[in-house]
């Protein structure tokens, strides 16, 4: 039984981790921290978890957490996790960090995208980018997992089988559509229901930070520098991300070849489903909600030589908490889908 602490447990990602870990057969959640709600019952903040947890939120300290837990999931804002990680590692606790802090390998890139020097550049090399479909081997036994961003996850999964493939070149444009939960639990003018509902709203359209990690991972795969432009759009759903990753091809692309590339790349990956033809010919996040699945597919428009690959995920699951648990499972030698077996809901 692994004793687990969830730090930053009152936010949406923290809450989703608590939800999943509550039924994980190898895990006992011993600590859930929240600066704002320390002393309050978990179910007060997360009404879905009423009656599921009997513990209260506590204040985070490295001492308390390390004493009571073997693994810590950090669901803290960017720039906050980074300071606790070294100490946690030092006392021997495994860290799964869901922030962006340890995702980039190159400290100078970190500065470019996040505006400050990374205080612990030495640890960037030790961190494993927690996308198990790409880093399954490295994750085994890993003590520091940097869990990917949701838009990056969708973009990388959509493009991984085709980057480096000659006809598509090295420039990709990922037009992403996301639900409102991606913005977190804190209210704002943009997330106010009357403003957010029915919106189809581009945001961070000129330099989305997830481009950095997507380029890092896809360049590694393609063995050459890949250019990835991500343009996110807020749409009305609460959960769900669809990445439509577009490229122009320099020659005709056969559908069968696309199919083969996807099938081979993801052979044996338990959370990947390749979608093509039938009543639902393209991926739609609607049909993965509540699960850790990523549905992948593609479209080839031969007339104009445009190729699009699609990835549909639940941003709270494969885009955040689910993927973190998956990576944790791999790191611990558990079955990859331990605690993540419930199929998606339909309809929802």
Identify the active-site residue in 21, 85, 150, 247.
150
Smallest distance from a second copy to CB 51, Å:
5
Residue 271 contacts residue 319 (beta carbons within 8 Å): no
| Nearest distance from C-beta of residue 175 to a second copy, angstroms | 4
Of 161 and 285, which CB lies nearer to a second copy in the complex structure? 285
Residue 13 assigned ligand-binding role: yes
Q: Of 15 and 148, which CB lies nearer to a second copy in the complex structure?
A: 15
Closest among 236, 269, 288, 250 to 171, alpha carbons compared: 250
Closest approach of a second copy to the CB of residue 50, in Å: 5
Is 41 or 164 the residue whose CB approaches a second copy more closely? 41
Distance between CA atoms of residues 269 and 43, nearest Å? 35
Cα 217 to chain centroid, rounded: 13
For a second copy, the closer CB: 140 or 341: 341
Residue 237 marked in a binding site: no
Give the integer Cα–Cα distance in Å for 157 and 326.
15
* CB contact set of 233 (below 8 Å; sequence gap of 6+): 175, 176, 177, 178, 200, 201, 202, 203
Distance CA 171, CA 103 (A): 22
Nearest CB to a second copy, comparing residues 149 and 179: 179
| Spatial contact of 130 and 324, defined as CB atoms under 8 Å apart | yes
The C-alpha R_g of the chain, in whole angstroms, comes to: 20
CA distance 2 to 333: 12
- Taking the complex as a whole, the smallest distance from the CB of residue 9 to a second copy amounts, in Å, to 13
Min dist CB 130 to a second copy, Å, is 22
Nearest to 121 by CA among 136, 131, 138, 108: 108
Whether the bond into 290 is cis, omega within 30 of 0 = no
Q: In what order do the strands lie in the sheet with 201-202?
A: 201-202, 227-234, 171-178, 241-248, 306-313, 294-301, 272-274
Q: Does 334 participate in catalysis according to the annotation?
A: no
Question: Is 315 within any annotated ligand binding site?
Answer: yes
For residues 139 and 327, the answer to whether their CB atoms sit within 8 Å is: yes
Residues annotated in a binding site for NADP(+): 10-13, 315
Query: Could you give the residue numbers annotated as active site?
Result: 150
């Amino acid at each position: 039984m692994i004793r687990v602490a969830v730090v930053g447990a009152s936010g949406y990602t923290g809450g989703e981790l608590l939800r999943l870990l509550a039924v994980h057969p190898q895990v006992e959640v011993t600590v859930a921290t929240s600066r704002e709600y320390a002393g309050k019952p978990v179910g007060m903040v997360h009404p879905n978890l009423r009656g599921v947890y009997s513990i209260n939120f506590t204040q985070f300290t490295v001492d308390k957490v390390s004493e009571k837990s073997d693994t810590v999931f950090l669901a803290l804002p960017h720039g906050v996790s980074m300071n606790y990680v070294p100490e946690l590692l030092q006392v021997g606790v495994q860290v799964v960090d869901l922030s962006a802090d340890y995702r980039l390998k190159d400290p100078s890139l970190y500065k470019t995208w996040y505006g400050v020097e990374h205080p612990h550049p030495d640890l960037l090399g030790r961190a494993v980018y927690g996308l198990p479909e790409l880093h399954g081997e490295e994750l085994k036994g890993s003590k520091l997992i940097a869990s990917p961003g949701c838009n990056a996850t969708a973009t990388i999964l959509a493009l991984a089988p085709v980057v480096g493939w000659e006809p598509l070149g090295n420039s990709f444009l990922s037009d992403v559509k996301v639900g409102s939960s991606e913005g977190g639990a804190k209210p704002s003018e943009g997330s106010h229901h009357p403003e957010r509902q029915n919106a189809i709203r581009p945001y961070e359209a000129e330099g989305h930070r997830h481009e950095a990690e997507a380029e890092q991972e896809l360049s590694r795969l393609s063995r050459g520098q890949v250019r990835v432009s991500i343009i996110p759009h807020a749409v009305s759903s609460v959960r769900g991300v669809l990445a439509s990753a577009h490229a122009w091809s320099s020659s005709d692309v056969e559908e069968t070849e696309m199919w083969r590339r996807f099938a081979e790349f993801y052979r044996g990956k338990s959370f990947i489903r390749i979608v093509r033809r039938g009543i639902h010919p393209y991926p739609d996040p609607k049909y993965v909600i509540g699960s850790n699945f990523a549905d992948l597919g593609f479209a080839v428009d031969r007339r104009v030589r445009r190729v699009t690959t699609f990835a549909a995920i639940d941003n709270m699951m494969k885009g955040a908490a689910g993927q973190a648990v998956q990576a944790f499972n791999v790191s611990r030698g558990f079955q990859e889908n331990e605690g993540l077996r419930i199929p998606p809901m339909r309809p929802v």
